[in-house]
Amino acid sequence: MEEFFQQLTNGLAVGGIYALIALGYTMVYGVLKLINFAHGDLFTIGAYLGLTLLVSMGLFDKIGPLPAVILLAVMVMILVAIIGAILERVAYRPLRQSPRLSAVVSALGASIFFQNAIMAIYSPKFLVYPHDILPKAAVTIFGLDIPVMRIIMFLTSLVLMAALYFFIQKTKIGTAIRAAAIDQGAAKLMGINVDRVIMLVFCIGPALGGAAGLMVGLYYGQINFSMGWMFGLKAFTAAILGGIGNIPGAMVGGLLLGVIEALGAAYISIAWKDAIAFCVLILILIVRPTGLLGERVAEKV
Amino acid sequence: MKRKLCTLGFLTLALVALTLGSAWAETIRIGLMCPLTGSWASEGQDMKQIVELLAAETNKAGGVNGNQIEIVIEDDGGDPRQAALAATRLTTKEISAVIGTYGSSVTEASQNIYAESGILQVATGSTAIRLSEKGLPLFFRTCPRDDEQGMVAAKTLGDLGFAKIAILHDNTSYAKGLADEAKSLLEAQGKTIAFYDALTPGERDYNAILTKLKSAAPDVIFFTGYYPEAGMLLRQKMEMGWNVPMLGGDATNNPDLVKIAGNQAAEGYMFLSPPVPADLDTPEAKAFMEAYQAAYGSAPGSVWAVLAGDAYRVIVEAIAQTKETSGEKLAAYLQKEMKDFSGLTGKISFNEKGDRVGDLYRVYKVDAAGAFVLQP
């Protein structure tokens, strides 16, 4: 039984990362009905920018670990948000009126561009965050040894997700985003600047992805240029699992996918871990084609 | 007048071509196929530097039988498709033998192309068993085969006194082959295999796997995959507070392993590998290492590139002894007459399949400073 709970915490830790990245996919899909394939690479950029800023500014020595991490996170999120906005302006906005497939191809192209740009700038080697900048202690909760960092990481992703949820549900801008997601034409008629809403979505999603990249770099230490592909694929799956276009769905889907993987690995087979996760996804989609929390939306005619 | 000029120009060109042609006939061309780009680029760059250095030394000493050596390089990009193209290009460049390449699947894509053109191929880092089981008479390699590593692994684990062993691979054909080989040998020795499974390479979080491994309570973990995953496993194992010893295969022989895991987590980690360049102890190797250091200002990164130097040396030796450059004659010499040739990585002989004979594997252990220390 102890192993079960240990595996549950393993799954939740990975699931928190999946959920953060999945939010980016789901927000863009919700507003534009576009799958932003470059999102996984924005996550990678977050991890690399975090490393560059960390090493070049030496923040940990100057202001201590906690303020350093917070400052680093803010800087990475702002930078990745800017890159996301540029991506939207350059790769997606010119194709707004084109068939949806053109935008998908543009997204794939942007993904390849980012991946190769990172490789060319930072080298194809594995890069490593400095060791011993974060506490390595573990706490014992109900007989389980859990590293403190993992708890902090999980809580951080929960806080970010909660903040996003309230932003979308409770603020005026959030309402505008939801309106644009439901019907862009009607939103325009109501005086909403849809272009600006889309730009904003392309800032928030990548910012969260960049934060996830920084967290992965800080906690797991090792980063390389192709890491976004694996995480992106999993996060995309999580978004579908929870119902793409639905923000709480992405959170639930991410956490659930992490837990399914961990438990599948623990009780069935490690080598079949991914296959098990995708079988569960297919079963859920057969029963609920719109995903766990996705609502059936009438097709626009 | 114009026509006369044309004829004159043509004649001059033809003359130049003829002189050049006869000049070419006096040089012996040896091909080198290596990954100069792609994810194994650092290996390929080292291979190129080593072979070029050795060829320059040969030429300075008067060449082979009075002929100069010319190295013709093609980039395989670490990719089987690109390797097939590179091999086809090399076969058109009048080479008498080819050195390379690093990855097994990449070598495999080029094997038949060289075989059909009658060119001797000496591979350097391709350890997959199947490469020499195809009955290709012109194929040789200076690296050991995977099944030999399996034997050394089983023996090492037995010698260290471990009875309950967990085996973890990553589902690549290399790692799974090694894991299967070691498993069957260990079972034949009467050891308990407490755990046998594969992880997914390229992930960051292996806590789920480690938790499961821990519940199997093995005496030792034998991991047959590559260094990025080995580094993550070591690091996360330490964070779990679990102190089980871990042994790895030769794909974990890379200094980045320690960078990824951190010195503290990597300390005590053991792996099997051909000796690292700094531990090569033959006089040839010492002289070579000094020359390399002088030419490029650093030591070669891994032993796999040094094996390319050995491939060059056996080819040149075969040409010098037989005074021939045809693939069959060279192959016959390497197979039947070359005995205990003193190579950079120890004595070299080949068996009838073209595999290197003799044990090359050593056991290494990571010390507290993160250095790889050869175990006696």
Distance (Å) of CA A248 to CA A166, A231, A281, A286, A298 = 11, 19, 17, 21, 20
The pLDDT of residue B21? 47
The minimum CA-CA distance between B230 and chain A, rounded to whole Å, is: 12
Nearest CA in chain B to A129: B260
A2, A222, A267: which to substitute to probe chain B, counting the most B Cβ within 10 Å? Answer: A222
Q: With beta carbons less than 8 A apart as the criterion, state whether A16 and A255 touch.
A: yes
Place of tokens 């990449």: B106
- CB of B298 within 8 Å of any CB in chain A? no
The pLDDT of residue A300? 40
Tell me the pLDDT band of A299, cut-offs 50, 70 and 90.
Answer: very low
- Whether residue B161 lies inside any domain: the answer is yes
Specify the pTM: 0.77
Regarding whether B263 and B321 lie in a shared domain, the answer is no
Regarding whether B318 and B227 lie in a shared domain, the answer is no
Nearest CA in chain A to B236: A220
Give strand ranges (E) for A16-80. none
Domain count, chain B: 2
Nearest CA in chain A to B263: A131
Q: Are the beta carbons of B202 and A227 separated by less than 8 Å?
A: yes
Nearest CA in chain A to B230: A222
Residue B7, pLDDT above cutoff 70 = no
Q: Helix A100-122 vs helix A39-57: angle between axes, to the nearest 10 degrees?
A: 30
Q: Which residues contact A126 (CB under 8 A, 6 or more apart)?
A: A222, A223, A224, B228, B256, B259, B260
Of B41, B199, B232, the CB nearest to A220: B232
The pLDDT of residue A49? 95
Q: Give the model confidence (pLDDT) of A131-142 as tens digits.
A: 777 777 777 777
Regarding whether B332 and B235 lie in a shared domain, the answer is no
A43, A123, A128: which to substitute to probe chain B, counting the most B Cβ within 10 Å? Answer: A128
Which chain A residues are Cβ-neighbours of B199 within 8 angstroms?
A: 270-271
Domain end marker among B273, B298, B320? B273
The pLDDT of residue B146? 81
- Whether residue B291 lies inside any domain: the answer is yes
Regarding whether B78 and B22 lie in a shared domain, the answer is yes
What's the mean pLDDT in B72-91? 93
Q: Give the model confidence (pLDDT) of A149-186 as tens digits.
A: 888 888 888 898 899 999 999 999 999 999 998 888 89
Query: Cis bond leading into B101, ω under 30°?
Result: yes
Nearest CA in chain A to B227: A126
Which chain B residues are Cβ-neighbours of A254 within 8 angstroms?
A: none
Specify the CATH number for the domain of residue B97: 3.40.50.2300
- Whether residue B366 lies inside any domain: the answer is no
Q: Give the model confidence (pLDDT) of B46-56 as tens digits.
A: 899 999 999 99
Q: Give the other-Cβ count within 10 Å of B245's Cβ.
A: 15
Q: How many CA atoms lie within 13 A of A150 on its CB side?
A: 24
Q: Are the beta carbons of B204 and A124 separated by less than 8 Å?
A: no
* pLDDT over 90, % of chain B: 45
Regarding whether B295 and B268 lie in a shared domain, the answer is no
The pLDDT of residue B24? 46
Highest mean pLDDT among A40-44, A117-121, B75-79, B158-162: A40-44
Tell me the pLDDT band of B375, cut-offs 50, 70 and 90.
Answer: confident
Measured between alpha carbons, how far is B365 from B330 in angstroms, rounded to an integer?
A: 39
Query: What phi and psi, each to the nearest 5 degrees, are found at residue B118?
Result: 70, 30
Mean pLDDT, rounded, of chain A: 87
The minimum CA-CA distance between B283 and chain A, rounded to whole Å, is: 33
Residue B264, pLDDT above cutoff 70 = yes
Q: Give the other-Cβ count within 10 Å of A260's Cβ.
A: 21
Regarding whether B153 and B100 lie in a shared domain, the answer is no
Lowest mean pLDDT among A21-30, A53-62, B73-82: A53-62
Lowest mean pLDDT among A38-42, A62-66, B92-96: A62-66
The pLDDT of residue B100? 82
Domain end marker among B239, B273, B307? B273
- Whether residue B99 lies inside any domain: the answer is yes
User: Which domain range does residue B188 map to?
Assistant: 147-273
The pLDDT of residue A238? 93
The pLDDT of residue A39? 94
The pLDDT of residue B22? 46
Of A132, A226, A270, the CB nearest to B197: A270
